[in-house]
Structure 1
Amino acid sequence: MPAFLAAIAAGAEGIELDVHAAADGTLFVHHDFAIAGAVSGGAGGAALPISTLDASRVSRIELAPGVTIPRLDDVLEEIGSRVALFIELKAAAIEAEVVRCLRRHPDSVDRHAVHSFDHRVVRAMAGLVPPLRTGVLQASYPVDSCAVMRAAGATDLWQRLEFIDQPLVSSVRACGGRVIAWTSNTPAEWDEFARIGVNAICTDRVDEYVSHARGRMPPQAAEMPQGIEQPVTDNG
């Protein structure tokens, strides 16, 4: 949670995070499938998959002094009212629980989005909650990205930065989609993605990105809360 708050303070307009389910189905926000220190309860212990631990066990593990692993409910409550959340589903068969979690928090379906490398999960989410924005993650360059998105019912294409060029961006935007570049951390990349019309940048360097984006905008635009692209921090 501290990383999310720091990103918002730096100017992020969105937070990208990863979701797993504990053994009892409780959804937790953590990048990795397993938690180091899960056996001993502290750093240095053996790593165990989140899916093998019950919620009370996961909640007691500290990633740093005083910093525990938040539930998705906690993040939606504290962070979701401030910025858009881009939720990557990394566990299998958790779609229905994610939907229930989103619906417990007002406006979440309209405000937030989900995405996954497993395009079957994306298609399932699109079917369960049609208004929800959904995205497919790619680390390749398909012949037809729009066809990939249509097959999954996706509205966003999360594209690895090495596989982004003008033709891809133009084709996705022409079919009504958004291109989100991940994970881009250099000014040269940001400038190129702005030039070719990428919709949003997922970055680890929010403060640098915001400063850079404001520096290339006209003075009147620099006062606006949104820049040429939306900075989305990668804090999964």
Structure 2
Amino acid sequence: MFALIVPQKYYPEELLTPSHLRNPLEKISHRGAHQTLPENSIPAFLRAIELGADAIELDVHATSDGVVIVHHDPVVSAPGEKKARIADLSASEISRFPLAHGTGIPTLKAVLDAVGDRARVYVEIKATEIEPLVMRCIRESGASCAVHAFDHRVVKIVKKIFPAIRTGVLEVARHIDPVASLVAAGAEDLWQEVSFIDEDLVARAHSINARVIAWTADDPDQWETLRQLGVDGICTNRIAELATWSLQLS
């Protein structure tokens, strides 16, 4: 669909080092500070960073003319209009679908430019065949990014395009071996649904220098349990509370 040539090495060595070997628990804001601001919006991401997020997590799709936009669902809608597939709309057409507070649906480029070097950005690719577009955007921005997806085929494609980038696989169950899935996809981060994380899973991931990121954990009791289990990051909808809780540990 698209051709892209990228250098073999782009990300700093720091990004390729498991966080449990270098930093405390990583605090990841799920779609930004969306309790008071529109989720997946630039204001929400910037507010999350102000509140203490080490990183933000967002979702991407691509328009019909190849612009990567930040949005969770594959469709958009506006009052009085039918839902429309993002993949069927141009970037200019997407601009007709505002978020709350007068905020528009942002492009990935705009988000990365706004965040700069203040936080890592975890990009969840929600659609297939847009991997080259996403990688081009990340490379041109120079931002500290990692990519993850539920579809492990997407992760494999990303690695072929951009071997140096950190990737992750999303898992919601244990009917298959999550660590084996991680290895098969060539990824470094295991994004595991919080209720399926245990000591054995964390130990196995760490034994191969992989990280475990818990999602989505919004309760202090969960945070403490996850910390005791040794997870490397927590993705939360309550970034202000997580940041405050984390400060109390130091």
Please indicate the TM-score interval, normalised by the length of the shorter structure: 0.7 to 0.9
Give the Cα–Cα distance (whole angstroms) in 1 for the partners of residues 188 and 237 of structure 2: 23
Q: Answer yes or no: is the 8 Å Cα contact 2:59–2:125 preserved in 1.
A: yes
2:122 and 2:148 in contact (8 A); partners too: yes
Partner in structure 2 of residue 17 of structure 1? 58
Indicate the larger mover: 122-131 or 186-195: 122-131
Alpha-carbon RMSD across the aligned residues, in angstroms, is: 1.2
Aligned residue type for 1:60: R
Match of 1:56 in 2: 92
Q: Structure 2 counterpart of 1:5, which letter? A: L
Among all aligned residue pairs of Structure 1 and Structure 2, give the percentage whose two residues are the same amino acid. 44
Q: Give, in angstroms, the shift of residue 80 of structure 1.
A: 3.7
Of 22, 38, 45, 1:4 maps to: 45
Q: CA deviation at 1:105?
A: 1.4
Q: 1:115 aligns with which of 145, 148, 163?
A: 148
> How many angstroms apart in 1 are the aligned matches of 2:188 and 2:172?
17
* Structure 2 length-normalised TM: 0.81
| Aligned mates of 1:67, 1:97 — CA distance in 2 | 24
Work out the CA distance in 2 between the residues paired with 1:200 and 1:138.
15
Alignment of 1:178-217 (within 5 A): 178-217=211-250
**Retained in 2: the 8 A contact 1:145–1:172?**
no
Q: Distance in 2 between matches of 1:25 and 1:200?
A: 32
Cα distance in 2 between the residues matched to 1:178 and 1:115: 13
Deviation at 1:122, TM superposition (A): 0.2
Residue ranges of structure 2 left out of the alignment (5+ in a row)? 1-41
Report what 1:76 is aligned to. 112
Contact 2:59 2:126 in 1 (8 A): yes
2:77·2:97 contact (CA, 8 Å) conserved in 1?
Answer: no
Instruction: Tell me the TM-score normalised to structure 1 length.
Output: 0.85
Unpaired runs of at least 5, structure 1: 38-42, 218-236
Greater relative contact order (Cα < 8 A, sep 6+): 2
Q: How many residues align?
A: 209
Tell me the residue number matched to 2:23.
none
- Which of 113, 125, 131 is equivalent to 2:158? 125
Q: Which residue does 1:101 correspond to in 2?
A: 137
